[in-house]
Structure 1
């Protein structure tokens, strides 16, 4: 049995199902908005189909399932019709609709789209519709409705923020490459030179780049979301401020099977590493860490080299394929991403947003003609939006 606790509470899966059977967790689902960001490439995909079908099985149903979608004008209609075919209290948000882009521009929010901005737009309606928010990706081929129970469980126990972790082992090899070969060696390299709590916090998460987290709505309204792939690490920085070690938990979600990305190019892990690096370094700089950028890449490579040895041993112990040369090549590519963070382009906290959730619902759903009556039926949404 593996009982190890990190600086944050670590809730393991020991083989039971007490969490799914808990009356507190079950009751919390009715007070939860589930956010599932998508692009039009998820339309009809087996992974997204599974996620939505599993959400249909939740009893009681969530208060809302908010799906922020990035799609062009020709594809949003079919995507929306497909999403609304599921028996869910679904709210489809067309994140890059002309009306939403105009509203953002009028509010002085600089352009730039990505997963982070989509999730941020969804957090407005989600946090006004429910007491709790669960966020997870739509590309998990092994998704199970129990993940909602598990992510919610810490919130029913007094924690404010919970993060999922899981094994990334598929096709008899180790995945989770950006976390293993970039995030972990970078955080540990910084921790070797700096004794700041933020680094201990970031190193406490067993899969810090997982897309699955849950938060009380009041905490979620304090998140300053980066626009794209820095969302996960940016969320951890804000969670450190709002919840700290004592208010944070991580929960075991078993083993996940994801869609995979290539390494090279802007759409691959190499491009993602630049955004993750920028946000991670911004997070630690804002909380007292002053990195020595002249030596940081070299020290990162040395830390990563040590971890390659550990991963090779772990893979051999489990009979998994492992290619040290490929892993070292990825380390070298990721090292080039380690530069001082650029301009801060994070989105505002929803507590300080330039418009309310009602404006998002109107701008991202141009096909709705009954928005006013719908807002009256969701009285909680209107009341909170006017706080």
Structure 2
């Protein structure tokens, strides 16, 4: 959660709904971009949850000290961002050892209902089911279709890779998810110590691969958590690949390519030209399909905006392919907590003490 999201009505609605959930043990907020005043404001803001709440102030001095010590013991960490915020939250949950299952939410869900959480965690907690990981999916529409990155990048990219690489288990696995970029997931707490976390916009795709490394596909599921879903939209940033949806698209492309390479697929230079041509065809078909869906359902459709998005994603594909060729390994993911604990056995108690010293644990 960014401290700026405290000013948004979406987060206030989420707090109101989560306050009504009877089965939550703890709500943990991994707070980024906050100074002392922002942290104190967050503590007061989340008191409305009326339950045990942990505000993990990632910029707090005692938390920074723990993070610096982790790095000093040979486990380099990424720059601040969503990936590192999630990673810090995983570490704290492991340290407390209170949770059986953990659910992740973005802090910008508009019209949030507590049924979303119930639908997300039920496959993990139900005594008759054997799932360890659940990914949310939902319809992305208001008066128009949303979900641009899924509709116009991920699905056409997977189709194009299937053409140039051939049938591959990872491509089939990713294609099975209706909304692979959803930030809402639930997982068994046992997984928290095993997963490496990408530090960039490839978080959602990277986590899917990490889960598959440690669990059979039969223990991974997806759930329809809401009839409609809306959250903050990233700006397209068509001319700047370091910002907005453009940057996200570049990172997604690199993560998919690196995952395929790690699976033993030989990605030779000539393949990338064929990939870009095949992607273009499938993406153009996706625009036509989206027009048909919008027309049938009486939704607005801005063809120029869709085509501009396609062109941006096409450039992002070229940029992602080039960056992958120049640096196939890329920035390493954040280490799993099993490695951190091995190098720094007292990290759990130290992290708990760091948060408590700041007053980050708020009891009802």
Q: TM-score, normalized by length of structure 2?
A: 0.85
1:121 aligns with 2:77: no
Contact 2:29/2:55 (8 A) holds in 1? yes
CA distance in 2, matches of 1:230, 1:76: 28
Match of residue 253 from structure 2: 277
Query: Is 2:170 the counterpart of 1:194?
Result: no
Which of 185, 205, 213 is the equivalent residue of 2:156? 185
Distance 2:31 2:250 in 1: 24
Structure with greater helix percent:
2
Residues paired across the two proteins, number: 333
Cα distance in 2, alignment partners of residues 189 and 363 from structure 1:
48
The answer (yes or no) to whether the contact 1:66–1:91 under 8 Å persists in 2 is yes
Deviation of 1:64 (Å):
1.2
Question: How far 1:149 moved relative to its partner?
Answer: 1.4
What residue number does 2:102 align with? 133
Tell me whether 94-103 or 215-224 shows the greater mean CA deviation.
Answer: 94-103
Question: Does 1:71 pair with 2:44?
Answer: no
User: Does 2:231 correspond to 1:258?
Assistant: yes
Q: Structure 1 unaligned segments of length 5 or more: list them.
A: 1-37, 378-387
User: Does structure 2 retain, via aligned residues, the 8 Å contact 1:164–1:252?
Assistant: yes
RMSD: 2.2
- Asked if residue 327 in structure 1 is aligned to residue 306 in structure 2, the reply is yes
Cα offsets for 1:2-36 (capped at 9, x unmatched): xxxxxxxxxxxxxxxxxxxxxxxxxxxxxxxxxxx
Deviation at 1:337, TM superposition (A): 2.4
Q: CA deviation at 1:238?
A: 1.0
Aligned positions of 1:213-362 closer than 5 A? 213-253=185-225, 254-264=227-237, 265=240, 266-291=242-267, 292-338=271-317, 339=321, 340=324, 341=328, 343-353=330-340, 354-355=343-344, 356-362=347-353
Report the Cα offset of residue 363 of structure 1: 3.4
Specify which structure has the bigger relative contact order, considering alpha-carbon pairs within 8 angstroms and separated by 6 or more residues: 2
Q: 1:41 to 1:173 in 2, by over 3 A?
A: same
After superposition, give the CA deviation of every residue in 1:47-101 in whole Å (9 maximum; x if it has no partner).
11111111110113x1211110002324222122212343021100011233333
1:107 match: 70
Aligned residues of 2:120 and 2:135 also touching (Cα < 8 A): yes
Using the size of structure 1 for normalisation, the TM-score is 0.80
Tell me, in whole angstroms, the C-alpha distance in 2 between the residues paired with 1:262 and 1:299: 26
Tell me if the contact between 1:93 and 1:365 (Cα under 8 Å) persists in the aligned partners. Answer: no
Q: Is the 8 A contact 1:51 1:144 kept in 2?
A: yes
> Which segments of structure 1 move beyond 6 Å, counting only runs of 4 or more?
none
Q: Deviations for 1:305-357, whole angstroms, at most 9, x for unmatched residues?
A: 11111111111111112223322221221222232155232111122224433
Gaps of 5+ in 2: none
Q: Is the 8 A contact 1:93 1:361 kept in 2?
A: no
Moved more, 259-268 or 227-236: 259-268
Give the Cα separation in 1 of the matches to 2:78 and 2:195: 19
Does structure 1 retain, via aligned residues, the 8 Å contact 2:60–2:358? no
Secondary structure of residue in 2 paired with 1:312: helix
Please report how far the alpha carbon of residue 365 of structure 1 lies from its aligned counterpart in structure 2 after TM superposition. 5.2
Aligned counterpart in structure 1 of residue 144 of structure 2, from 173, 184, 187: 173
- 1:194 and 1:289 in contact (8 A); partners too: no
Measure the CA separation in 1 of the matches of 2:152 and 2:194. 30
* Partner SS, residue 47 of structure 1: helix
Aligned partner of 2:10 among 47, 68, 71: 47
337 and 151 in structure 1: CA distance in 2 versus 1, 3 angstrom threshold: same
In structure 1, distance between residues paired with 2:356 and 2:315:
41
